[in-house]
Amino acid sequence: MRMYAPLLLVAAWLFAATPALVAQPKPTVPPSSSSASPSEIGGKSLAQWIKELRNPDPSVRENAIRTIPLFGSDSSDAVPEIVYVLSNDRDVSLRTNACIALISVEVREKDFSSVVRALAKRLSDDQQAIVRFHAALALGRFQEEAVEALPTLIHATRDLGSFEIRKAAVGSLGRAARDTKKGPDPRATTAVLAALKDPSAEVRLEAAMALGAMGVPDLGVKPTVLRTLQAHVLTDRDKPVVIWCHVASMAMDKVTEKELSTLTAFLKADDLRTRTHAARALGVMGGEAKASIPDLVGALKDKQPTAVAMVCWALGEIGRKADPGVTAINALKELSMGKNVDANVKAMATEALEKIKNPEKPKNPKDPKDFREPKKDK
């Protein structure tokens, strides 16, 4: 599967749940394996575990389908049988766990199509909401390889069974339809745009993030998308949705000082969720958000470790493209070495410093900008 670095929202899917635009790293298919696969688990080989997927006892089948992903890179051998369980098992628990397994097992390229079709079938036809939810979630793993599932994902964005199904469908639709060169499929753009009117703030948030990450829409659709985003900036009652509408608008058009200042102001919001999303949004924008560095440094004094950790991440992302200055670097160093600093904050500060020390190389080879020491803040 190919990997892409989307426009402004390159981190959009890093923290999918904590912030959707920054929440779980986009997995490759198949995912890379850092260690050798075990030859046996629980005294059984992979072949024996695969055989148990046909056992008449559903509890035995469930134990097998939960165990198989632990075989790492070798687990790809089990994919056809997992697809069989997903498509044919009458037990809802088995169909659910089959969807979950297909998020983590290795999947060979030759199996992409069969897996996507099976997941789309469950999302479309299964009577159990929990199965539809996990099927929608699993389809997002396959990103543009799941393009044949677009009609099903579009329909699922209107699923009345659960707002979580709609949220998962919108997120996966954004991944499947993304095209940063030609623009996303207009049908997908229209569906995600409609999701901005969902009664659930979580669905609207996913929609705003997806619109920013999918690429610039067709010229015939773009004006409508921009007008809708601007309308939600003024009317949406959920501040994180407003934040990501700003980001999506700038991703499709241009970064403006006014909108950037608006995002920066959210760093001082009363609620933690809004402050965290504001920091994440600025980090997603990378070097484009350089002007926000002083405000981000100030936000490192936030009393909530979750917010501080996200600010550290944001400074690291901006530092990949732009020199953050000595004040920011010293503040991050202080957090990374502090004795009474939250462990997660220390880790994020250390990671941010590493990003700053090893920034992305400039595209123009005639004008190298090898970062050595931070420039003094003016």
What sign has the CA pseudo-torsion 54, 60, 66, 68? negative
Please name the residues in contact with 312: beta carbons below 8 A apart, sequence gap of 6 or more.
Answer: 300, 332, 335, 345, 348, 349, 351, 352
- Residue from 299, 301, 306, 217 nearest 263 by CA: 299
Q: In the 8-state DSSP scheme, what is residue 21?
A: T
**Residues 249-258: contacts with CB under 8 Å, at least 24 apart:** 250/8, 250/285, 250/288, 251/7, 251/8, 251/9, 251/212, 251/213, 251/216, 252/211, 252/212, 252/216, 252/217, 252/222, 252/225, 252/226, 253/226, 255/8, 255/285, 255/288, 255/289, 257/291
Residue after which a domain boundary falls, among 188, 210, 232 = 210
- Residue from 256, 205, 340 nearest 8 by CA: 256
Average pLDDT rounded to a whole number, residues 11-31: 34
Q: How many domains does the structure of the chain reveal?
A: 2
Q: Which two three-digit tokens encode residue 214?
A: 């999918």
Q: What is the pTM of this model?
A: 0.83
Residue 123: inside a domain = yes
Q: Which residue has the tokens 């090893």?
A: 358
Residue 52: inside a domain = yes
Residue 122: inside a domain = yes
pLDDT level of residue 361 (50, 70, 90 thresholds): low
**Same domain, residue pair 56 and 162:** yes
Whole-number pLDDT of residue 214: 93
What sign has the CA pseudo-torsion 230, 234, 235, 236? positive
Residue after which a domain boundary falls, among 184, 210, 236 = 210
**Same domain, residue pair 303 and 181:** no
Instruction: Answer whether residue 330 shows pLDDT above 80.
Output: yes
pLDDT per residue as tens digits for the range 291-319 = 999 999 999 999 999 999 999 999 999 99
CA distance 219 to 207: 20
Please, what is the average pLDDT of the chain?
Answer: 87
What does the angle CA 234 – CA 237 – CA 240 come to, to the nearest 5 degrees? 90
Whole-number pLDDT of residue 31: 44
Instruction: Answer whether residue 375 shows pLDDT above 50.
Output: no
Instruction: Answer whether residue 11 shows pLDDT above 80.
Output: no
pLDDT level of residue 35 (50, 70, 90 thresholds): low
Whole-number pLDDT of residue 320: 94
Instruction: Answer whether residue 14 shows pLDDT above 50.
Output: no
Whole-number pLDDT of residue 358: 87
**Same domain, residue pair 190 and 81:** yes
16 vs 256, higher pLDDT: 256
**Same domain, residue pair 190 and 305:** no
Peptide bond into 217 cis (omega under 30): no
Instruction: Answer whether residue 113 shows pLDDT above 90.
Output: yes
Residue after which a domain boundary falls, among 210, 241, 268 = 210
Residue 181: inside a domain = yes
pLDDT level of residue 359 (50, 70, 90 thresholds): confident
**Same domain, residue pair 194 and 58:** yes
Q: At what angle do helices 92-104 and 58-67 cross, to 10 degrees?
A: 10
Residue 220: inside a domain = no
Please name the residues in contact with 87: beta carbons below 8 A apart, sequence gap of 6 or more.
Answer: 118, 121, 122
Residue 32: inside a domain = no
Whole-number pLDDT of residue 71: 96
pLDDT per residue as tens digits for the range 49-65 = 999 999 999 999 999 99
pLDDT level of residue 182 (50, 70, 90 thresholds): confident
pLDDT per residue as tens digits for the range 226-243 = 999 999 888 999 999 999
Residue 12: inside a domain = yes
**Amino acid at position 320, single letter:** R
Give the three-state DSSP class for 43.
coil
Instruction: Answer whether residue 167 shows pLDDT above 50.
Output: yes
Percent of the chain exceeding pLDDT 70 equals 86
Domain extent, residue 335, equals 279-378
Cα 230 to Cα 169, 216, 234, 236, 247, distances in angstroms: 24, 16, 7, 10, 11
Residue 317: inside a domain = yes
Here the CATH number for the domain that contains residue 115 is: 1.25.10.10
Q: In the 8-state DSSP scheme, what is residue 22?
A: B
Whole-number pLDDT of residue 110: 95
